[in-house]
Structure 1
């Protein structure tokens, strides 16, 4: 044998021996670490699934020279707190582990650098899930491949098998899902992208017929473990299009470009969060409803406090799940919550919605809201109301409603749903918009500003401002505390009631569930209308002095229930008699402009102006007084208008 051949052969033998030795060593290293990784996985599962206890067991591990065959089982671990309907049995996974440093499947994928292993895994076909394999035509429902580096970095791909099901004329067609991603054990960082091309459900033969098609579902994740022990990064879900048809109800809806995304970021001290919701064009029964978005932000959250609050919350949840809820909140847990809530407020965190918007071809309506918080001193010495006032540093909110946008939606609805022609639909929409605009001004929830209705609210230094109207903090927050069942001292209300008697829902002091005669009578007396009571067909009637209204007869009628004797409706009527009757043209012109009253000619050819009010759900005394004053003011305008437009 020539010397060169011998040398070459020796190199090959040494290289082959080294490769075999390295492969054997790598396989041994993988086996030794597998139990540790399995224990870590089960520890994490126990934390996140305390109610039903997911667990992974190693059922088989057969190590060879170049590869290992393993099987794992995923099952529920039942306890006394586990629901009775939890499924029994185990889902088993087969894994083929090709040992490094040069696993053949990794080389086939172009990974020529040394790797720890290539792992192929898939759900095994067992008796308890054989029906699932029937749906996928014998293909494993879930399979995945991973190339793992020595440093703990892995690239992976997975597939969920397509499914087609037909039953009694109904069908489901799922294109399957593909997932690609990476994992860095050192940084605890994950990237992933998932794609579902189509999902269609045809349930036209079901009791509730429906047909739905979804296309272009994508999910993306890019996160890592942050310095405070919380994951930070971006994640989002997007759907290109959804179509839903309900033939029995003649409903057809399409939605384009739906999306939801979350961004979590951090600096040296704080965590910031931003959630974005969006939808492209929505079409309902061929009516274009527009598109919208919402952006919600939390800023300047103390990172360490958020971590402590998160850990305490998870601990409380685990206690509850494990059946320890009767113990209540432990003192140390309460102290941790209170202490970290204070730390959270020390950085003056803020919450904002900027914007919440809806847009059509005719305009855009938008809400912006910002809440800045502060840490109140000596919290334990303050009442709940004082805590609220001192914790809220500032509130700024602006609501802009586009009148052309709302009008356009009303017109389209009236044409498609009510069958009106464009002219009639436009006239009805104009009347409704005038009504909305008037009510916004009447209740001071907004001001008319050209093509928009604009409402603004500001709160700072214990004083609120709603469209120029000052609202003290005591008045602003009293209703909020009352709704929670607490008084301004922080004590639950109705503590002195008989424990045998059920607690009735407390209503705000000025809220009337029905029109009380004495209250309305006193209100009109204070307004100098000198009410005089008469009996009517459906309840009492108050005859009023016409004052400046110009009416010949002015009255308020109570419409009451004969059984309950409660009066939920109030009718205010002004009647005008004149030598020259008001023309129908003038009456119609009035009705087109003023939504909240109606004008007509009675059987005596007298002009009548009327307004109805209803107390269902409650009506505030102040709002009732505003509405009465508004009617009397409108009645005066009607008198002037009717005299200026005699009959022809």
Structure 2
């Protein structure tokens, strides 16, 4: 054997010995790592499902250790209280073939030679509950994935839901292209990035006494970039994009379609104060092939005291959230809980929170309407003051503007007529015109708006106890008296 080949052989032998030692070490540490991971997962599940009627847990059923690999079996239990106290939990079983580090074969053959602790290859197992799901996926595991665990406890994972075609019953069916999801997380899941894609989903539901309903989704993308806050929940960005969605419904089997739907949500914290932004866009809406329009909405919030919101949420979940049967809890707030609630509301207001509907735009072929409103709040000196004085101190500023297009109202009235089966073009046009003009007349009669050409305009501004309604200035007391005069009599009739 020549010298280069001898050196190479020596390197291979040493590398193999190191890999064997590393694999043995990984195997001895594996069960503790799995149990810790499962415990953290169950804690996170409990946090995320808190306040809902659904509870979930995962457990390690068995672990068979070998030198280079191990096989684990897990059980996921999901219990929904809405199904009743005697309803059995939903159980899903998973098998996990775990390759020990530092150099698992699945990484070597794909030229990924960075040492890792383990590579997990998991898949849903076939049970009486999941056998129809397996059949729809041509007897393959319909849910599977791979997770790579680094020595720094970072995680790099891929999950796949396989394509399937299945009849749900005699009149209903589902067609699914499959979904892929990639995710990365550092130790203990403090930072998470994920991205997923689905090409197509179609659900056809029908019954003997109702018209069929067909839901279709095409081109769905999901993405998240999140960081766990000191308060136990995640901050960051979430994005959802849908290329096209379609709903077929009703006796006439009308087809409503949206294109280029986008949702973006972001949240951040400055100390104990939370800020967030939500954006919704619908690029195009049609009904039975006829254009309806487009829409956009942007909402923001800032300076929200996180501990106060969490305390108020806890009170809501225990005292006000509907129970599994839909009824409200019957136990009233105790005096101590009332004091706690008021203290948390005061703490929330002390942060001077700001809430805004920055933009609400609806655009049709012949018109565009816009609405926005922003509110700033503050803590009053006392809630024992007269209601008007509490309002003055608590409501720092309010600014709202409305532009309502009469042609847009006419366009949407025509869509409404189409939905109820009106087919006479002249009757539809007449009704649409009448509705748009009626909106202008009602706005002027109430005194809340004015008409300027084809637009209905309204503005409301409040600051320092003074109200400006469409250019008419008055005190808050005068404004309340005016609104009571205008609408109090109507409510009494």
TM-score by length of 1: 0.66
- RMSD of aligned alpha carbons: 3.7
Partner of 2:85: 84
Partner of 1:591: none
Larger Rg computed on CA atoms: 1
Where in structure 1 are there 5+ consecutive unaligned residues? Answer: 483-507, 514-617, 619-648
State the SS of the aligned residue for 2:251: helix
Q: What is the aligned counterpart of 1:252 among 250, 255, 258?
A: 255
Distance change >3 Å, CA 49–CA 204, structure 1 → 2: closer
State the SS of the aligned residue for 1:168: coil
**Corresponding position: 1:225 with 2:240:** no
Q: Could you tell me how far apart the structure 1 residues matched to 2:163 and 2:346 are? A: 51
Q: Could you tell me how far apart the structure 1 residues matched to 2:435 and 2:79 are? A: 61
Q: Deviations over 1:482-519 (max 9, x none)?
A: 9xxxxxxxxxxxxxxxxxxxxxxxxx863466xxxxxx
- Shift of residue 477, structure 1, vs aligned partner: 6.1
Partner of 1:31: 31
Partner of 1:40: 40
Q: Deviations over 1:270-297 (max 9, x none)?
A: 3211111221211123332110011111
Where in structure 2 are there 5+ consecutive unaligned residues? Answer: none
Q: Deviations over 1:232-261 (max 9, x none)?
A: 101122221122233622522111122322
Is the 8 Å Cα contact of residues 94 and 122 (structure 1) preserved in structure 2? yes
Distance change >3 Å, CA 132–CA 433, structure 1 → 2: closer
Distance change >3 Å, CA 144–CA 466, structure 1 → 2: same
Q: Could you tell me how far apart the structure 1 residues matched to 2:428 and 2:307 are? A: 58
Q: What is the aligned counterpart of 2:297 among 294, 298, 301?
A: 294
Partner of 2:343: 339
Q: Could you tell me how far apart the structure 2 residues matched to 1:212 and 1:319 are? A: 29
Q: Could you tell me how far apart the structure 1 residues matched to 2:439 and 2:29 are? A: 74
User: 1:73-152 counterparts in 2 under 5 A?
Assistant: 73-76=75-78, 83-84=84-85, 86-88=87-89, 90-152=91-153
Is the 8 Å Cα contact of residues 292 and 415 (structure 2) preserved in structure 1? no
Q: Which protein, 1 or 2, shows the higher relative CO under an 8 Å CA cutoff with sep ≥ 6?
A: 2
**Corresponding position: 1:358 with 2:344:** no
81-90 vs 176-185, which moves further: 81-90
TM-score by length of 2: 0.85
Q: Could you tell me how far apart the structure 2 residues matched to 1:394 and 1:176 are? A: 50
Q: Deviations over 1:419-474 (max 9, x none)?
A: 4557x866665555444333322221212223322111112233433224456545
State the SS of the aligned residue for 1:223: strand
Is the 8 Å Cα contact of residues 319 and 332 (structure 2) preserved in structure 1? no
**Aligned residue pairs, count:** 484
Q: Could you tell me how far apart the structure 2 residues matched to 1:479 and 1:48 are? A: 46
State the SS of the aligned residue for 1:387: helix
Partner of 1:437: 440
Q: What is the aligned counterpart of 1:65 among 64, 67, 78?
A: 67
Q: Could you tell me how far apart the structure 1 residues matched to 2:330 and 2:445 are? A: 51
Q: Could you tell me how far apart the structure 2 residues matched to 1:392 and 1:241 are? A: 42
Which structure shows the bigger proportion of residues in strand conformation?
2
Partner of 2:377: 373
226-235 vs 119-128, which moves further: 226-235
Q: Deviations over 1:299-332 (max 9, x none)?
A: 12234544555566667689988x9966654666
Partner of 1:194: 196
Is the 8 Å Cα contact of residues 312 and 336 (structure 1) preserved in structure 2? no
